[in-house]
Every structure is written in C-alpha cells, then in structure tokens.
A and B are shown apart, each in its own frame.
Chain A
C-alpha cells in the first residue's frame, strides 16, 4: 500500500514536472491583459503598478489636486502654481505610452501655463472606468476612444463637438490629414475626436520564402485568385512527414472586425445604411461568397494554418512569426517586431482585390470631455497632439496622421510604410458607423458563423449566414423596439 502510494506520487509529480520542459517556441501572444494601471507625470516620473486598490488612491489624489487649483481664480497671465492641469486618459500601456509622454513633454515646454497628466488604464476595464468617471462628472479632460466606441460615447454626450474650435483662436485645418483618418472621429456630421494612431489591413509576406520557391512577390492591385495561387504554391510539407509545415497565408480566424474587409471586397455590406437591417446584407450573395472563399482557404485549399485558439486575437496563430507561413493578412501592429524578427524577411503589400477594392481602418483618437472645466486648454493640447507637432513625434513610432509630416519623414515613398498609406485610399466605413448596437447584435452572430464554417467544413455557408443574419436581426430588433 505504501509502496504503491509513493509510486503514484512519483508518477503524478513527474507528469507535472514534465510540463516545465515542453518544446520551446516563440512566446504565444496573449492579447488579453490583466489590468495593470500606470500613472506617470512628466516632471517627476512616478510609476505605480499594482492592484486596482492602490491605484484608486493615486487617482483620488489627482482629483483633489485639481479641486484646489480650480478654486483659485485664473489670472490672465498665469504665475507659478496657477497652472491649468489637464488630465489625459488613455487605454495604452507599456511602450505605447512613450509617444504620449514625448508629446506631452514638448507641449508643456511650449505652453508653460498648462500641466498635462497622463492617466493610463490598460485592458478591458478602460471603457468601464471611463463611463463611471463620466457619470460622476470626473472624467479626464481629454479621453482616448477606439473607432467602434465613438458612436456610443458621442451618443451618451461624453464629448464636446470640435467643429467650433477649428476656426477659433487656435485654428486647425482639417485638410492637412491623410485621407480617411479623420473619418472615425466624425459622427452625425460633426467632428468629435482627432486621430491618435491608425492602421488599415495589409498583407505581410516573407521574401525569403518567396525566393526559395521562386514565386514572384505579390504586387499592389493583386486579386483574390492571385492570392490563392501564391498561397497554394507556398503551402508545403517540407520534411515529408505528411503534415503541412509551410503555410501559404496566415488568416485571422474568427476575428469579426477584420473579416468586414472580405465582405466589402466581395462587393457586399454588413448592414443597411439606415442601420436597421442585417437580413439581406449579412446573408447577401456577396457576403456568402466572401465567407465561402475565406472558409475554402482553410478547409478546401488548406493554405491557411488552422486557428490555434479562437479566444486569442485573430486565432492566436504564430506561423508567420516562426517563418512557417509565407504571408499574413493583418494590421500594422506587429510590424516593428517583424522588422527585427530573424525568421522574417519582410515585405508588405495591400490587401488583394476581390470583386471590389476595399479596406477598413482601425483607429484610436482623442476627444474633449463634455464636462471639462478647461475646454480651451484641452483644445490647445489636442490640436498640438494631433497636429503637426505631435505628428512629428508620432512619425518615429507609427504613421503620423498629418500628410505633410508623413511625406517629410519619407514614409509615403517607403516601400513598406508607403503601402499602408496607399491603402487609406481604399477605405470603406465599417459596420459600427451605421448602428451603435453592432457589438452586441451582429458581432456575436458573425463570430459564431465564422467559427461554425471553420470548425465544421461540411457546413452549408449560405445556411450559416442566413442563421447569423436572423440571429443578429432578432437582437437588433430587440434593441430598436421602444
């Protein structure tokens, strides 16, 4: 009995220990984050990282400071200690905070009457926190919001309209921007937010793999058929063990927003322009064609690596990073990593053309809190941030929104960055523009449909899309009913 007991333990423990010596791989990218909250001021950098409770304390302290300041009347020319304090809320974290801090430091130098405090709340909690702060009238003066959340925040009256400022004492010319990058900040014929950063979709390709098999690089204006051809030519079983180990193109699994591109490129739409109908759109011929083509890349042609984990962003695949996929369709986010990745000899090309040329934009921007006590100061900062000065800083990190800055930095002519900028010409509005309920009505239905066709290759795409359209429609009708 005792012997057996010991043997059982040894076995179980050995199994547990084995888990420490699995095969080494590129780290799996886990996009979900545990909330880490960081707050920094520029003059003396204080970083607080820890439990939400600790951070609450810090935030409260900031609030108290503000109260003291606004209680004293503002003099015409502010002396020492009478600075306006602006709070800037962002959902960025880690390295994403660097450009903010650099721009803030420059702005404060040029505007000695204003002190800017960055409040960073990373993770999925960011919007919840903003909403509670807005409800309490205590939100940051300037808030960052992502593309599809713009209608919700605007509808709830969280932002000041910016049109009045454009021609005021501190004017801003909206024509200085690259095409399409102001779009997501506009809603109901008003401008509410200015762009922070953005990316359309594109296709990365690994030149080394193309060279190895003598396949010509993809070129702008290429089509779905050409993409399939190249992908097929580059899907290989290199070690001959009967399993594919080189994939033609890494796709985005059940990532619904990314998938909108396919429907637009097939010549379809996701919702009626009045924002009330999914039936007739999600189940249109074009939408079905898009889903069929996409699913076939996985199931029939088998040129795309199967999703590793549907819960991870875009399927959690790592094949392109590991040099096991020749192409990858995605946004600009991992590009900096690819430039340094020894497995990847990077090239970028626009997304292929289907029945139509189309691309979609992913975007983050800043707006001014409707309840701010310093609208003018906030505008001065916003104008600086999203204007030429801020753009010059951004040019070191991403594509700056101001066209002349991008040009001066040589980005429009750059063989890689130029592609992203060219793709802005092909932008179409995303579905959320037509309904504030996209996220809770069609998004789950479309996600389910994509998962169904990827998991069950025998599923009838037309029927799956009809079911999705009906599910989305029922949910939408529920929201629209008085």
Chain B
C-alpha cells in the first residue's frame, strides 16, 4: 500500500458490515439456491403430500391426518421398522465411536508402515456401498462363505447369518464395522491437534499412559466425540443400502429398517403420502435426538477456548 493513501469508502449506501454481508450471501448463493430448490422445496412438498393419498399418477387426494393415524395405530410393520432401527442404532453408534477411537489411537503411534495401515483401514469407507455389501454377502454365505469356512476350521458350525432372523441384524452390524475408517480419520485429525507439551508435562509429573489418556486425550477429544456422535446417529438412523441389497428387510422382517420400509411404501407400493408421512416422523425423531445431544453437550464437551 502506498504511503498516504486512505482506503476510500464507497460514495453512498453500504457500510463495511453490510458489504461484507452482501459478499457473504453472494458467495454462498450457489449452496443457498441448492438448499432452497432441492432440499427445502421438496421438504415442504413432502409435508403437504404427507396429508394426502398420492400414487404419482392420479391426482393427490387430501386425507388429513389419516396417514399418521394409520402409522401409529394400524401398521405393525411401522413399529417393527422403528424397533429394528432403534436397536441397530443403540448398538452400532457406541460401537462406531469406541471402535473408531481405538483404531485412531493405534494409528496415532509411531509405527513402521503407518501410512499403509491407515490406507487399509480407511479403504472400505471409500468403497461404493453396494459393492461393499455384495462382498460381505459372500463372506457371510452360510455354506461357502469365508466366515463360516474359518469357523468350520475352528470346529464351530457358524450360523446361517443373513438367512437367520436372529443373526441377520448382528451380521449387518459386523458388516458395518468395516466403515469405522471414516470415524477413525476424524479422530485421528483431532488427536494430532493435541499439543505434545501436555503429554510431556504429564510425563514429568509422573503420569503413565493410562492417566494421560483419561486426563488429557479423552477430554480434549470430546468435541470430536460429540461431532462423531451426532453424525453417527443421523447416518445410522438412515441405514438403507446394506439391508436393501443383502436382506431386503428379511428374514421375517428382522432387518426391516425404517428407511427401507419407507422406500417400499414409496417406490414399490407407490403410497407417496404414507411414505412422506414416514419421512417426516423420521426427520422429527432425528431432530429431537440431535437436540437432546446438543443440549447435553454443555455438560461433557470441553472446548479449549473455554475457561477451565
């Protein structure tokens, strides 16, 4: 900047704050337009559709709360799908949070071939969902699959996995653990952001690895755990691909996930109204859960910028 020049204000109108705001909106407008057109618009339409009966072809017919009433009072499959999804979420989310953390801790050591291991663990996360599931269907095949073959060597007769209503959901859980790499990477990034001095100071004070983990690592990771928790709950509630490809909700509706049932109503039976109503209930459920977690976060999430 040349000495003596003063940044000139525009002659009239916008002050700096306003101008910044304007630039902000212009810059995010592509995203904003996308949100309005492709998310908010369809959401509002689906809310309206949820009060109607519509099969895509005949004109929609307004039915008031009938879809919601049927869902809550006369549709056992709705409750079954909710139950399956809730059970799966309750087991998988803690598993993903803990498993991802353990992997990240392992990956945070100074080891030989570290890059190779990191790649290997993260690799399944970038596999396309369907290919991934088909591969696992092979592994889980009751007669010729890898898993039961290995169990057979150990003298155990493996269950019929996806064909057994008691084992199908656990089998899908097992399958999903291959996706831990995604959580691991997020943990890893934040693990490496923890200042080394803290550990050095702790070591000088005589703290072993275990207290260091509990007193330093874990507290400083809470924002990441919080983030992973919210993300994990949202995505687990929307589980679809694995059940769609591997079990089609069966056997005996043991893996009838909420979104799979919603998909059936919408695109197999063409009950767009009912499916939209289901989508809204799911949205409200996830919203409520997320709010509860966000509200509770003040008690257990520690941000470094805050006062101790």
Whether B120 sits at the interface, judged by CB under 8 Å, is: yes
Whether A156 sits at the interface, judged by CB under 8 Å, is: yes
**Which of chain A's residues has its CB closest to B160's CB?**
A306
Whether B109 sits at the interface, judged by CB under 8 Å, is: yes
> What string of 1s and 0s marks CB contacts (under 8 Å) between B87-126 and chain A?
0000000000000000000100111100001001000000
Contact B138 A307, beta carbon cutoff 8 Å:
no
Give CA–CA (A5, B77) in the complex, Å.
46
Given contacts A16-B120, A308-B143, A478-B70, contact A1 B209 (CB under 8 A): yes
* Chain A neighbourhood of B307, CB < 8 A: none
| Stretch of B161-169, B185-193, B224-232 that contacts chain A | B161-169
Chief secondary structure at chain A's binding surface? helix
Contact B58 A8, beta carbon cutoff 8 Å:
no
Given contacts A28-B138, A30-B134, A158-B57, contact A310 B109 (CB under 8 A): no
Give CA–CA (A28, B134) in the complex, Å.
10
Q: Choose one: A2, A125, A152, A455; the contact of B251 (CB below 8 Å).
A: A455
Whether A336 sits at the interface, judged by CB under 8 Å, is: no
Contact B106 A9, beta carbon cutoff 8 Å:
yes
Q: Choose one: A2, A34, A440; the contact of B109 (CB below 8 Å).
A: A2
Contact B250 A19, beta carbon cutoff 8 Å:
no
Give CA–CA (A18, B138) in the complex, Å.
13
**Interface size range on A against B:** 35 or more
Whether A447 sits at the interface, judged by CB under 8 Å, is: yes
Number of A-B contacts (CB under 8 A): 113
* Chain B neighbourhood of A124, CB < 8 A: 267-268
- Residues from 50 to 98 in B contacting A, C-beta threshold 8 Å: 55-58, 70, 74, 77
Whether A93 sits at the interface, judged by CB under 8 Å, is: no
Whether A215 sits at the interface, judged by CB under 8 Å, is: no
Contact B137 A309, beta carbon cutoff 8 Å:
yes
Q: Choose one: B106, B139, B163; the contact of A22 (CB below 8 Å).
A: B139
Contact B250 A310, beta carbon cutoff 8 Å:
yes
Given contacts A32-B245, A308-B141, contact A156 B250 (CB under 8 A): no
Whether A6 sits at the interface, judged by CB under 8 Å, is: yes
Contact B163 A440, beta carbon cutoff 8 Å:
no
> What string of 1s and 0s marks CB contacts (under 8 Å) between B231-268 and chain A?
00000000000001111111111000000000000011
Number of interface residues of B (CB under 8 A): 49
Give CA–CA (A306, B164) in the complex, Å.
11
Contact A254 B268, beta carbon cutoff 8 Å:
no
- Residues from 432 to 469 in A contacting B, C-beta threshold 8 Å: 439-440, 444, 447-448, 451-452, 455
Give CA–CA (A474, B73) in the complex, Å.
13
* Chain B neighbourhood of A134, CB < 8 A: 57
A: which residues have CB within 8 A of B?
Answer: 1-2, 5-6, 8-9, 13, 16, 18-19, 22-23, 25, 28, 30, 32, 34, 124-125, 128, 131-132, 134-135, 152, 156-158, 254, 306-311, 439-440, 444, 447-448, 451-452, 455, 474, 478
Q: Given A6-B111, A135-B57, A452-B252, list of 13 further CB < 8 A pairs?
A: A1-B209, A2-B109, A9-B117, A13-B117, A30-B137, A32-B245, A124-B267, A156-B55, A157-B57, A309-B162, A311-B245, A311-B249, A451-B252
B: which residues have CB within 8 A of A?
Answer: 55-58, 70, 74, 77, 106, 109-112, 117, 120, 130, 134-135, 137-139, 141-146, 149-150, 160, 162-165, 209, 244-253, 267-271
| 11 A-B residue pairs with CB within 8 Å | A22-B145, A124-B268, A128-B56, A135-B57, A156-B57, A306-B160, A439-B269, A440-B269, A455-B164, A455-B252, A474-B74
